Amino acid sequence: MFDVNEMVMRRKIALVVYSLGMGGAEKVVSDLSFQFAKQHDVSLILFDGRSRYYPYAGELIDIQCPSKEGFFPRLINFLNRAWQLRKIFQAERFDTIISVMEHASFPSILACRKTIAANHCNPDRNFSKFDWLFAKWLYPRAKKVVAVSRDGMQIFHQRLGLENLDCLYNPVNLARIHDLSAEHPAVHIEGDYIVAAGRLSPEKNFASLIRAYAAAKASEHYKLAILGEGRERQALEWLIRELGLERRVILPGFMRNPYPYIANAHCLVLSSLHEGFPVILIEALGLGRPVISTDCETGPREIIRQGENGLLVAVNDTDALSAAIDQLCLDKGIFEACQRNALPSVEYLDIEKVAEQWLAI
């Protein structure tokens, strides 16, 4: 026999995102789809379904409206997306609509005012003039505008005076990353090491990290592994050779499963110039690894408790980053305290808890 209460509570949920290509926001959508699908009917609506790096649960709807170049093609594309979404929303009558990132949120809000618009970046850094114009027009019409950090929420309040603001941190599937961390790594790293991960691009500021590592005493005892791929590889390889670190700094490339490397590292370092709410810090802490991060505008300071689960340093301060590496690698007391507090400090961000917060909006 079926449970009447379970039938009443079951929801129809739409998750709207540009694609399932590589990216932090896309990973969050993937995780939420699996979590929601345990108890609800989930539809994942994409604008471009050709790139599907992350898996998903539920029904996939690809409206086939990839990005266009030029003002008028982009405007027509925007209206087409809104029109197609409106048809789907009216036909499916979703109980909950969550759109992720502004390129999905703007047409979704135009299509339906029940939309919960989730932002996953630092808007001061990532929004264009046109994005701010659309945000000023459309965000007040949304059911909620959800920032991924308290600092991000404050930026929206100051810029737009929004009253329909909320903050929900990025979730992590702690059980899944723990299971994945037990897999055999694709590339073996000999000896002790610290790890960093991300796209090899300017905003990740890996050049500063390499210089800080070169100046740290810890470089004598720990290697540095930077997981990722990108257009700065050649410049970083040149810097490594210039500093004579070919045997100490490793660029193994993009790793589909980075978790064995993180779980076996001494600590993780994030050297970014800016972030939204960096999931990599939560994942490292969830695997019991202390972290070092730049105190960029949004995200890290809301994850790291100074000296308790990691260390914060000023952005683009090579000397401070070098000192923090030495402190966490060579000061046993600091390391053991941060390691002990790592997992407990992020358990509130587990996917099961955060998913329920989304449905409570």
For position 253, what pLDDT does the model report?
A: 94
- Asked whether residue 75 is domain-assigned, the answer is yes
Residues 16 and 151 in one domain: yes
Mean pLDDT of 23-27: 86
- Asked whether residue 361 is domain-assigned, the answer is no
Tally of structural domains, the chain: 2
Segments forming the whole domain that contains residue 230: 176-347
- Alpha-carbon torsion (120, 174, 17, 360), positive or negative: negative
Boundary residue ending a domain (168, 186, 211): 168
CATH number at residue 338: 3.40.50.2000
* Residue 25 structure tokens: 């926001």
For position 53, what pLDDT does the model report?
A: 86
Residues 114 and 196 in one domain: no
Express as a percent the part of the chain with pLDDT over 70: 98
Residues 117 and 34 in one domain: yes
SS (H, E, C) 3-65: CHHHHHHCCEEEEEECCECCCHHHHHHHHHHHHHCCCCEEEEEECCCCCECCCCCCEEEECCC
- pLDDT-derived band of residue 347, with 50, 70 and 90 as boundaries? very high
Is pTM, for the whole model, over 0.85?
A: yes
Mean pLDDT of 249-255: 94
- Asked whether residue 352 is domain-assigned, the answer is no
Is 7 a residue whose pLDDT tops 80? no
- Asked whether residue 353 is domain-assigned, the answer is no
The string of pLDDT tens digits covering residues 135-156 is 999 999 999 999 999 998 999 9
DSSP state for residue 306 in the 8-state scheme: B
Contact in structure between 193 and 225 (CB atoms under 8 Å): yes
For position 24, what pLDDT does the model report?
A: 82
The string of pLDDT tens digits covering residues 268-300 is 999 999 888 899 999 999 999 999 999 998 889
What is the biggest distance separating any 2 CA atoms in the chain, rounded to whole angstroms? 71
How far apart (Å, rounded) are the C-alpha atoms in residues 209 and 292? 11
Consecutive H or E run containing 233: helix 233-242
- pLDDT-derived band of residue 93, with 50, 70 and 90 as boundaries? very high
The string of pLDDT tens digits covering residues 196-205 is 999 999 999 9
**Interacting residues of 1 by C-beta distance below 8 A, sequence separation 6+:** none
